[in-house]
Structure formats: C-alpha cells, structure tokens
Structure 1
Amino acid sequence: MNLKKLDAFVMVVERNSFSEAAAAMKSSQPSVSLKIKSLEEELGFELLDRRAAGIRPTSAGMLVYSAAKDIKVRWKTLEDNLDEFQGKLTGTLSIGASTIPGTYLLPGWIKTFRSLYPKVDVRIEIGDSKSVLDQLQNHQIDAAVIGIKVDSRLLTSKPIASDSLVLVTPIGHPLLHAECPDFTEIQQYDFVLREEGSGTRKMMEHFLMEKGMSVDDLNISISIGSTESVLAAVEAGLGISFVSRLAAIPAAKAGRISIINNLEPYDREFYLVTHSDSQNRPLIKQFTETVMDSQGIEKAQTFEQND
C-alpha cells in the first residue's frame, strides 16, 4: 500500500475538492486523481461519489478514510520512535494557535524548542479557537494552544500560561477619570467586539455573564476579526473593548490606548491541547515537556548528545 495514495484520498475528502487537495499537497490535480484511481483499483471499490454536489466518500470510502487516518497517525508515531531510537528528533511539528498565544507566547516557546531540537521543522497556523480545534480533531495539526479548556475524550488539555482580560479605551476616555468605575458603565459607550469563535470573545461572554450581563446589553459599534484590529479600532475612537493584557500592555506603552486598571480584570488560562491517540508521539511529547517543564533544556541536551 502506497501511503501517498492514502494521503491524497484523505486530503480530497477533507477539502471536498481535487484542486484544493492538490494545492495543499503541492501537487497537480491529475496526479491526485491518478493516485485515488489507483487506490480504488487496488482495493476494488469506488471510494468517492463524484456525481453528488461536491465530492463525497462512498460507504466504502468512509471505511477507508477512517482507516487511513489511523494508519497516518501510526506511521508518524513509528517514524518518531525510530528517530528517538537513534538518539535524535526530526520531522515536522504542526502547531495551531489562537491569536493571543500564537502572537505573544508561542514564538518564545518555539525558539526554546528549536534550540533544543534544531532538526525539527515547526509550522504554525494562527486561527480562531474553533477552527484550530477542528484541525486538531482531523489530525491536520499536531497540537493546539488556545484559551479554551476542551472537555473531550479525544483531546487532552493542559494549562500552560495565564492571562487576563482588561478593559481598554481610547486615550482621554471618560472612564479614565472615574475613581471607581462601575462595571455597568460600559453599557454607556460604543463597544468593539471580537468575532464569534475566538477564545477572547468566549471569555468576555463568561465575564459578562458573571456580572449579570450579555453581549446584547452592549452598544456594539463594530465586530472585528483579530486582537490587533480591535486595538486599532479602539485607538481610532470606535469604542472600548476587553482584550488580553498580553496584547494591551505593549499598545498602552506605545501610547495607542489606555487600560482601565481600577476595573476588575478577568483571569484566564491558555491550554496546550493534543489528540489523545497521538499525544505520546515523541515529537509532541517533547514539545509538551519543553513548554511545561522549566528543566526541558537539560533533558533535551542529554537527548541530543547521541546524535
């Protein structure tokens, strides 16, 4: 069995398109089509229903898709274990992250990891928490760093960092002059909101709920898709907003926005999420230990000495 045929089949099913699958695999559409046709001939079953709207796997195709995903995970684990057996760690580690940890935390962790395991290539994809989790569940990435704890038998979440949501305003905003602002005062002002699906949005909704409020109680002036865009909108005077302190502090130091420090912040944690059936792969395991263990450098140096 040629693994490249399985890769092509899995990619077509997940992308629902031969052309998109070919682009993702850096291949040509005819080449992908030939691989799948060869796979169908080898197995003796039609795997894709090409007559329906879009491309859908047949009943046999669903069985092959499920088995192919399992084979790919097992093969990656085998490759990692063989590398570990030889006293080295190589390969590609794919990490998905939501905006805040992906921008302000992950680069430092990757720098440490790469200094310990220089033969490992790291690929980072930034997106909202929901899309990152979807990629992880489909084994399109190896690990995720997000601001949401996941309750699932398929995924494992470990807290790795802390942050807080703080209220930010344009320079000179009236809230800056209030000695002890009441939380309900935010209803008086235009509000800049993050898009649905983001970890920051979900945490803000929890924060409002604890205060007996909801998003519907806010005077939304604009909904926007990234923390930096929120900061830019606040800086431009479009409203106030809750953002990560990690993002707010550099913007405040640069004189772009102000932080309302005498309003209670809302603490939150970031989590490293891995797929339960691949979390013990050496690549993923070593990255997890590097992030969570302050003694990761000493362990890694011992690991690489035999290379």
Structure 2
Amino acid sequence: MALNYHQLHIFYTVAERGSFSAAAQALHMTQPAVTMQIQALEDYFGSKLLIRSTKKIELTEAGHTLFPFALRSMELMRETEKSMSGFTSMLEGRLQLGASLTIGEYVLPRLLGPFGKQHPHISIALKVMNTTQIIEDIVSHQLNFGLVEAPVHHPDMVSEPVMEDELKLIVPVGHPLAAKDLVKLNEAVTYPFVLREKGSGTRQVMEAELERRGIRPERLETVMELGSTGAVKSAVEAGLGVTIISPSSVKHEQALGLLKVVDIEDAEFKRKFYSIHLKSTLLPVSAVTFLAFLKDAKQPL
C-alpha cells in the first residue's frame, strides 16, 4: 500500500474533530469508511496513531508526530490548487457561497459580470445573509465558502482577507457639508447621524476609528439606528442626518445626484473583507480561482 493524501486528510480531520463520527460527517463519508482508512494508515506505519476512548480520540506519540505533516500536506494542496488555477482554461462547476449584506448587494454584483466572462462555465449561487447564518451553512455543507466584513474566530474555520474597503461620510445633496470635498472629523461629528445597528460590521469600524481619534461614539447625535444599509441611505436622502458607510453602496444615488461622498481629512475608516471556509474541506479549484480573482480585482470599491 502506498501513502496517499486522502488518508492524511482523513487522519487530520479525525484528530482535529476528536471523533470518527464528527470526521465522517465533515468528510461526507460513512464512519466505517473513515475507520478503515485510519486502520490502513496505521498498518502502513506499523504503529497506532489514535487512542480510542469513550470520551474523545487522543493522539499517540506517533500520531502527534504525523499530525503536523498531515496539516502541511493540506496546506500544500491548497497552495498547489491556487497556483495552478491560472493555467486551467476550462473550469467548470457550481459555486455556492454566502455573502454579508454590503458585499452581496453592493460589491459582488459589479465583479460577477467580469468573472463570468473570464470563466463562463462556472455558475455561482449567491446567498446574501448575516455572518452567523453563513457560518451555519458552511458547517452544514450548504455553502462552499463565505465572504464577510470581519475576521471570523471559529475553531473549524479558515479566515483570510480578500478585499479592502474604506467607509466614507455620506451626506444628502443640499446639506452644508455637500458643498465640500474634504472636511475635518470634528466638524463632521457636529451633525446628526443615521447609523447602522450596533454590532454591525460597518458600525464597529466607524466606532473603532472614532475612539482611535479620541472621540467617544456616544458623543454623536444619533437620530436613528437602522438594520440595513438601504434603510440608512433612504433616511440620509430624506435629510434626517449624515452617515458613514461604504461608498460602493451609494454609487447609484451619487449618479442621480441624491447623495454625496465627502472625504474626512483626518480619519480613515478602513476595513477588510474576508473569505471563510472549513479547515477540513479543500475548496474546489473553481472557488480558489474566484477568490484569486477577487484579490486581484482592480475596481475601486
């Protein structure tokens, strides 16, 4: 019998998940099939790799020695697929991904067209939902991967930055600040604000930068908190206040002359967008190609 990557992948997943049943579920295999592959691996090395108990699987000394090599083999496979994806002229497949609101509604639509022209045989099924729902669907294998507005700290997930965004001050046409292209932060915060709800990625980025600049978020005159970027835009357009959100979400309103993007001279509300997927699952080449496309995208957000 020859050593193969598939068996190392199974061993890694069993060790990481702590049970044969959990590994079988993650790998879409039956538990007896997982057990058989582990036994074959132990026969190959002539040594027990796992200690099976009623509570949890534990690694033997040989298992501890093998584990980092199994991890490196998975990382090497991911790097190989990423490097070789550019040479694949006829990629096929159906990508199922989830994206948080700003990414799914305002960023990706401008990029899916160019990607589709380059790779017409890849179909994409996009679900727009919150980060918690995306994680749940990835864990249950309903999605290949997700795109979110903040890094995810989950024991089963890989979280990698793929794009960068910068929030800007958005004001209605006719507002005193609309006559300016550049304002100071202390001037901007004297006006009433319409904000996303507490806990949203946009709100967190804004408040973190305010605090970094010595301004307590509570100092803002917040006239309204809303649960979607669309609702915030409508409230600002109606003259209820100003806001700080991604300029990618107001391109249409800018073109119609309804809202204006104003730069803040002494503050930067920058953030990254992240891809997330299961550690135990290798992304298909089509997904690796799509993520590489996003990282290389030159369109301003």
The 3 A distance-change label for structure 1 pair 179 and 119 is closer
Matched-pair contact (CA < 8 Å) for 1:192–1:234: yes
What is the aligned length?
224
CA apart distance, 1:165: 0.6
Give the TM-score normalised by the residue count of structure 1.
0.60
Question: Where in structure 2 are the equivalents of 1:1-307 lying within 5 Å?
Answer: 67-71=24-28, 89-176=91-178, 181-263=183-265, 264-292=267-295
Q: Deviations over 1:211-257 (max 9, x none)?
A: 22344322222221222221111000111100102223442232111
Equivalent-residue separation in structure 2 for 1:113 and 1:141 (angstroms): 19
Matched-pair contact (CA < 8 Å) for 1:99–1:126: yes
- 1:136 counterpart letter in structure 2: I
Structure 2 equivalent of residue 24 of structure 1: none
Q: Deviations over 1:33-56 (max 9, x none)?
A: xxxxxxxxxxxxxxxxxxxxxxxx
CA apart distance, 1:192: 0.9
User: What is the identity percentage for the equivalent residue pairs of Structure 1 and Structure 2?
Assistant: 27
Equivalent-residue separation in structure 2 for 1:169 and 1:293 (angstroms): 31
Equivalent-residue separation in structure 2 for 1:289 and 1:103 (angstroms): 20
Equivalent-residue separation in structure 2 for 1:200 and 1:169 (angstroms): 16
Q: Deviations over 1:75-101 (max 9, x none)?
A: xxxxxx9xx9xx975443111112222
Matched-pair contact (CA < 8 Å) for 1:129–1:198: no
The 3 A distance-change label for structure 1 pair 88 and 168 is closer
SS in 1 for 2:25: helix
Instruction: Output the aligned Cα RMSD.
Output: 3.6
Equivalent-residue separation in structure 2 for 1:156 and 1:205 (angstroms): 26
Q: Deviations over 1:91-122 (max 9, x none)?
A: 43111112222223323443344445444432
The list of structure 1 runs, each at least 4 consecutive aligned residues, that deviate by more than 6 angstroms after superposition, is none
Matched-pair contact (CA < 8 Å) for 1:190–1:220: yes
SS in 2 for 1:188: coil
The 3 A distance-change label for structure 1 pair 219 and 135 is farther
SS in 2 for 1:140: coil
- 2:280 counterpart letter in structure 1: D
The 3 A distance-change label for structure 1 pair 127 and 196 is farther
Give the TM-score normalised by the residue count of structure 2.
0.61
The 3 A distance-change label for structure 1 pair 163 and 291 is closer
The 3 A distance-change label for structure 1 pair 210 and 136 is farther
SS in 2 for 1:169: strand
5+ unaligned residues in a row in structure 1: which ranges?
A: 1-61, 74-80, 295-307
The 3 A distance-change label for structure 1 pair 139 and 67 is same
The 3 A distance-change label for structure 1 pair 66 and 209 is farther
Matched-pair contact (CA < 8 Å) for 1:194–1:227: yes
Equivalent-residue separation in structure 1 for 2:258 and 2:131 (angstroms): 27
Equivalent-residue separation in structure 1 for 2:224 and 2:112 (angstroms): 34
CA apart distance, 1:187: 4.1
Equivalent-residue separation in structure 1 for 2:229 and 2:202 (angstroms): 9
SS in 2 for 1:168: strand
Matched-pair contact (CA < 8 Å) for 1:146–1:271: yes
- 1:258 counterpart letter in structure 2: K
